[in-house]
């Protein structure tokens, strides 16, 4: 299953060992994100590390695996769909994820309730739904 992964899913997986962190490594899940994703992580790295149950080395190892596991798509590739995404996305921070999902014609993995309920342009699956699938 191909999915665009929302940054909040990754934040949750990094902070706490959970079903989310287990799902990230399921075979058959192919994950994509806008190229800025890891820039955001670096920006909040210390805050995330403060909240984590992981040691520094575990955190760095897990983060490194995520960098290899998620295919980043350059902004230039989603740029043609940004305007459409702006028109359907309930929150401007979700526009790049919606644009990428539109470009690839795949769903988004996010626990963002407004993203799921206030637009119909792309399918949005919660972590619970991914676990059931």
Tens digits of residue pLDDT in 74-131: 999 999 999 999 999 999 999 999 999 999 999 999 999 999 999 999 999 999 999 9
Extract the tokens encoding 12: 């949750």
CATH, residue 43 = 3.40.50.1010
80 vs 61: which has the higher pLDDT = 80
How many structural domains are present in the chain? 1
For position 3, what pLDDT does the model report?
97
Helices then strands, counting H and E runs in the chain, come out as 9, 5
Domain with 18, as residue range(s), is 2-132
Which of 10, 14, 19, 7 is closest to 59 using CA atoms?
14
42 vs 98: which has the higher pLDDT = 98
How far is it, in rounded angstroms, from Cα 4 to Cα 101?
A: 6
Q: Left, alpha or beta for 5 (phi > 0: left; psi -120 to 50: alpha)?
A: beta
């Amino acid at each position: 299953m191909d999915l665009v992964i929302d940054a909040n899913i990754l934040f949750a997986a990094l902070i706490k060992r959970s079903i989310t962190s287990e799902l990230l490594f399921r075979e058959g899940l192919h994950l994509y994100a806008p190229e800025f994703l890891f820039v955001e992580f670096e920006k909040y790295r210390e805050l995330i590390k403060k909240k984590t149950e992981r040691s520094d080395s575990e955190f760095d190892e897990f983060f490194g695996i995520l960098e290899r596991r998620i295919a980043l798509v350059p902004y230039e590739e989603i740029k043609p769909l940004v305007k459409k995404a702006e028109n359907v996305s309930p929150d401007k921070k979700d526009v790049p994820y919606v644009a990428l999902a539109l470009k690839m014609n795949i769903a988004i993995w996010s626990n963002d309730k407004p993203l799921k309920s206030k637009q119909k342009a792309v399918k949005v699956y919660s972590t619970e739904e991914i676990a059931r699938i």
